[in-house]
Every structure is written in C-alpha cells, then in structure tokens.
Amino acid sequence: MTEAELAAYEAGKNQKNPRRRLGKEVPRMKASRVTKEQLEDRYEDFDGLCAYCRREMGINSEIDHIIPMAKGGLDIIENLVYACSSCNQSKNSHDLIPWLRSRPNYEEKLELKLLSVFPYLPLLFLDYYE
C-alpha cells in the first residue's frame, strides 16, 4: 500500500461517506485495475477458502475490500480478498482487525494468514499491533 493510499484510508475512515466532498458526490473508479489472473492468484492465496472464516465458499464466494470503499479503500488487488457471503455481509464497512477479533469464532491463525498475504495490515491498525 502506498503512502497516498494509506493517507486516503486514514482521511476517510471516520467519515460516513468519504467520497462526498463539499456536498458533491465524487464518482467511483469505473474500471478496475485488477486482472483475472490476479483474482485467481488471490483465490489460491487462501486455498479457495473464505479469507475470514476459512470455510469452503462454493458458489457463495464474494470479493471483499479489506479497506471498505466507503472508507476510502481502493479497487486494487492489494485490497481484495474472497469471502463467503456470510462474512462479507457481516464485515460490511467495518475495519478488518477489530471486526475479525470481535467474531465468536475468532482464531489467531485466521489473522496470521491474513497478515502473511497482507503484511501492511499492522500499519493500518497500529492500536492493535503494539
């Protein structure tokens, strides 16, 4: 994650809609910079399992933004994971680490797997990684 992306996240995480500036809606990026091959690799990063609960997703797989778009997250491969529809709906626009740790089925190994794929996460959640 670049410094600009981190700054955009920090600026937007406490706002209800960071795309709204001076009363005008800023359009979302229309074209994704993510390739089919990158998505296939991301699917394999987690062995075809949900990145959050590690259960098989089957046809219920969805792509989730680690940093929600509503909080300034970008539509780039470094911000995407496959999740089951249950986890994706539960996470919604919550910050990842607090949400993950609040789940009743939380296991540290789930978080460690995410950290192995996304080593920048501690930079986003400094309060949780002292």
pLDDT in tens, 89-106: 999 999 999 999 999 989
- DSSP code per residue over 3-29: HHHHHHHHHHTTSS-TTEETTEEPPPP
| 58 in a structural domain | yes
Q: Is residue 27 part of a domain?
A: no
Count: domains in the chain:
1
The answer as to whether 99 is a domain residue is yes
What CATH number is associated with residue 84? 1.10.30
Q: In angstroms, how far is the first alpha carbon of the chain from the final one?
A: 20
Q: Give the domain range for residue 75.
A: 3-13+33-128
pLDDT of residue 28: 47
Does the residue 21 lie in any domain?
no
pLDDT higher than threshold 50 for residue 25: no
Whose tokens are 């995407």? That residue is: 80
Q: Are 121 and 115 in contact (CB under 8 A)?
A: yes
Other C-beta atoms closer than 10 Å to the C-beta of 88 total 21
Low-confidence winner among 9-13, 16-20, 32-36, 76-80 (lowest mean pLDDT): 16-20
**Does 26 map to a domain?**
no
Residue 24 lies in a domain: no
Provide the 10 A C-beta neighbour count for residue 15: 13
User: Is 22 a member of any domain?
Assistant: no
Residue at 122 is within a domain: yes
Name the region of 72 (left: φ>0; alpha: ψ -120 to 50; beta: rest). Answer: left
Mean pLDDT calculated for residue range 75-79: 94
In sequence order, what are the beta bridge partners of 65?
Answer: 80
User: What local confidence, expressed as pLDDT, does residue 33 receive?
Assistant: 81
| Confidence bin at 26 (pLDDT 50/70/90) | very low
Q: Which residue has the tokens 């950290």?
A: 115
Mean pLDDT rounded to a whole number for the chain: 83
**What tens digit of pLDDT does each residue of 42-64 get?**
999 999 999 999 999 988 899 99
